[in-house]
Amino acid sequence: MARMLRTRAARAQHLPTSPTRLGRAHLTRVRIELLGAAVIVAASVVRFPRPNYALDPVYTDHLQHEYSAWAFLHIGLRIFDTPKSDWGNVHAAHVHLLWEQLPSLYPPGLIAFFLPAGVASNEGLLPDERVHMLMVMLLGVGAALASFQLVRTLRLAYEPTLAAILGFLGTILFLTAGLDGFIDPLAAGLALLGLSLQYRLWYLWPLVLVLVVEHRREIARWQLAAAAVVAAASGVTFGLSVPSVAKFHDIPRITPNALAITHSVNAAQAAALVAGAIVLGIVLLHEGPWRGACVALALLLVFAVDQWEVWYPVLFVPLLVVVRTRPGQVAVTLAFVEAMVYLGGFPDALRFARLYADAVG
């Protein structure tokens, strides 16, 4: 009898319903889903319209980054403070100008990210169109992975229904921008590491500093040193780019920010300022000063920058997971949705489906 009981106990340990096996099965399923999403994205991009291979043929971003990365090899830091139209001859086989009145308004991390594409295209290692396709594949896969991470994080922090709604909206935002050739979803998905790819994520710096202080004993010195070098380089290039940012309102084709108060304050802007102050007060009260500082800097971007484009909400998605308390989540979520509705950029699932069907059809 004792031997039979031991045998049954041993068998029970190997049943597929054991916690260990369930955990492994879940991890395997997640990996399969991620791989499947990556394959679908890559296969879809192959059928996107040439020569840009972007979901929306009206506007895309990856071509200018390929050109900027190549130009950096020839004129160095000038790409950060000199308008593209004044870069002169950078010996580019393929010149891709976008907003030629502006320099490259991105951190050096983005230049490093697109440098292989710039070299491959302009050195003739690959046809330029093929480079465009590979860039969108990479950015699209990055957007899909960022969507998985967003949904997973929201499920851990939010009520199931609200997490599902925000996860759906965030996924539409990420996939639309990523398949349009924007690095923003990948940068947002990387969260703290994304600060080296997009200045508009710098509202997360207070949280970065807190995490570094709290986990300083767990971080290797070489990692801190590398992060410091990247941060310093980004600070230098940001300083070079600031004068151009101040001239946004003078540049044609820049979409004006209806909430910017840099020139005057109307009734709608005043109401938005009051609403922003209430949101900030709630976050400071329930989340503390550091997360409140992140919200304050995000609000500064909304009210102090003259430009607003429909893909900008992508870069504010990380703010949804910065706040952890219920009052903070409700306040930030309402502000996020209201800003998208008023300024533009609210995710349109039907538009995404139509663009995707047209692109792969």
Query: Do residues 198 and 61 lie in contact, with contact meaning Cβ atoms separated by under 8 Å?
Result: no
- Rounded CA-CA distance 140/350 in Å is 19
- For 34, the token pair is 């991620």
What pLDDT is recorded for position 8?
Answer: 46
What pLDDT is recorded for position 251?
Answer: 76
Grouped pLDDT means (10 residues each) for the chain, 361 residues:
47 53 67 86 91 85 94 96 93 88 94 96 95 96 93 93 94 94 92 86 94 87 90 95 81 84 91 96 96 96 90 93 95 94 89 89 78
What pLDDT is recorded for position 71?
Answer: 97
Query: Do residues 150 and 167 lie in contact, with contact meaning Cβ atoms separated by under 8 Å?
Result: yes
- Rounded CA-CA distance 242/11 in Å is 67
- Rounded CA-CA distance 353/207 in Å is 36
What pLDDT is recorded for position 203?
Answer: 96
- For 16, the token pair is 């597929």
- Rounded CA-CA distance 106/122 in Å is 21
Give the distance, in angstroms, between the CA of residue 74 and the centroid of all CA atoms in the same chain: 28
- Rounded CA-CA distance 173/179 in Å is 10
With 0-12 / 13-18 / 19 or more C-beta atoms within 10 angstroms meaning exposed / middle / buried, residue 83 is middle
What pLDDT is recorded for position 19?
Answer: 61
User: Bridge-partner residues for 256, per DSSP?
Assistant: 307
